[in-house]
Amino acid sequence: MPGRPFTLIGGAAVETLEALAALGFGLSVAVEMIAGRTHDPATGFGVVTMTVLAGAGMLAVARGLLLARQWGRSPAVLTQLFALFIAYNLIQSDQPLYGWPLGAGAAAALVMVLSPPTTKALYAGD
């Protein structure tokens, strides 16, 4: 993508990876539900619905960033803040193998999305 800084592309890439992880988790819960291995189908349905919608929304945000759309920055920052919160809770609940990579990715994405080169690319025409 000519003219787009690495920070913008990197932020979009991290957002995409997180979106794919959310979609994958939602689909794995759906498979568990179909196989009849869930304790509470209503909760499973809620988890599937929320993760698939969140993943689809995050893919839209990543696309917006990649296309250098100004609107993509705020939801990208918001999703990374949520990811930091989730990472903290994963680490506190003895799941550091999930928490630390998520936290590191979210922190890196925040730095990239809020960096001066990204700001310049998103607001160059203003």
Q: For the chain, which residues make up each domain, given as ranges? A: 7-115
Residues 83, 65: contact at Cβ < 8 Å?
no
Note the pLDDT of residue 126: 65
Note the pLDDT of residue 48: 94
Which of 106 and 41 is assigned the larger pLDDT?
A: 106
Structure confidence by residue, pLDDT tens digits, 72-104: 999 999 999 999 999 999 999 999 999 999 999
Residue 5's CB is within 10 A of a number of other CB atoms, namely 19
The tokens of 33 are what?
Answer: 């539900």
What's the full length of the chain, in residues? Answer: 126
Q: Which amino acid is at 74?
A: S
Name the band, by pLDDT with cuts 50, 70 and 90, for residue 2: low
Which of 1 and 125 is assigned the larger pLDDT?
A: 125
pTM over 0.75: yes
Structure confidence by residue, pLDDT tens digits, 22-65: 999 999 999 999 998 888 888 999 999 999 999 999 999 999 99
